[in-house]
Amino acid sequence: MQTQKLINDGNAAVDEMLAGILSAHADHLWRPDHAPRAIIARHGPRPGKVALVIGGGSGHEPTFLGFVGKGLADAAAIGNVFASPPPQPVVDAALAASGGAGVLFMYGNYAGDVMNFDMASELLEMEGIEARTVLTTDDIASSPTRDKRRGVAGNVFIFKAAGAAADMMLPLDEVERIARHANARTYTMGVALSSCSLPQTRRPSFDLPVGEMEIGMGIHGEPGVRRGPLRPANEVTDEIMDALLAEMKAKPGDHVAVLVNSLGATPVMELYILYARVAERLAQAGLAVHRALVGPYCTSLDMAGASITLMHLDIELTRLIDHPCDCAMFRQG
């Protein structure tokens, strides 16, 4: 059975979306005439500034496009749905954003992205532009080993910290260090209640029967840690929070930033039900919430489900998380 979507042609959906975003947010975003998949911040890049370039497949909006703007990412390279951008858009984005202080690539830890961004780095080096990479690896369900984990909704906080560092005109070494530090202190786990459907096929991309859920599923439909009957929101939240708190190893009195994120089809009402339990669990652990985000920040098309992210703050990360930014779909300060 096909799903219903408000599209024209599934194969043109990404480019038509980009046209709409650029029209709606022309005061924040532009793209070079020769580079339709490279999206640049109007007010972020400037001489002497490290260029933060993010990117990945479409279908996760507002990640990545929505976080391009002053104080956060300088540019984004956009791929097809759930597919890495090829090297050329990455190079185009970096060249347009480069301020002569080097480029930092940040994206989720997926094989296709690693291959294509690495190729882009080599091409930039041939142009005399230094490019470094920090992979996001916040999905604790995807591997027991940090460097093998996927990057998911925790991208929002990790990009935010790195973008603030770059906006403060810190050198490339420092921006890279901060990006790695932010990633190491960010933890995410999600639950899926349904599959998603690609615009090209309009069919469910995997089978998840009604009445079941998958704990730990990835944002492209990758398997989670277990599948079982759907349970009440507090019980689902407790399972996720047990895992996140065990990983984080925070002490009473520590501060955290929290994101309760919709995977696309889960409404705000349900997200706040989850957040209420998250707040209870954090209070029980003696942890203070410094900043809370609730809503669709890193989606998976029309998948039902949610993820919870905790960033374990310190003085440095708190300052960076609080730094002002003005992006197409995210503003602070």
Does the annotation mark 323 as catalytic?
A: no
Catalytic residue among 25, 28, 181, 220: 220
Beta-carbon contacts of 69 under 8 Å, excluding residues fewer than 6 positions away, are 28, 29, 41, 43, 44, 325, 326, 327, 328, 330
Tokens of 53: 């370039």
Alpha helices, DSSP H, located in 198-305:
233-248, 268-284
Of 131, 122, 144, nearest to 98 by C-alpha is 131
Catalytic residue among 25, 28, 60, 323: 60
**Is the four-CA dihedral 14, 16, 19, 23 of positive or negative sign?**
negative
Using CA atoms, how far apart are residues 95 and 331, in angstroms rounded to an integer?
A: 25
Tokens of 255: 């501060």
Does the annotation mark 43 as catalytic?
A: no
Beta-carbon contacts of 129 under 8 Å, excluding residues fewer than 6 positions away, are 94, 95, 98, 102, 103
Residues tagged active-site: 60, 220
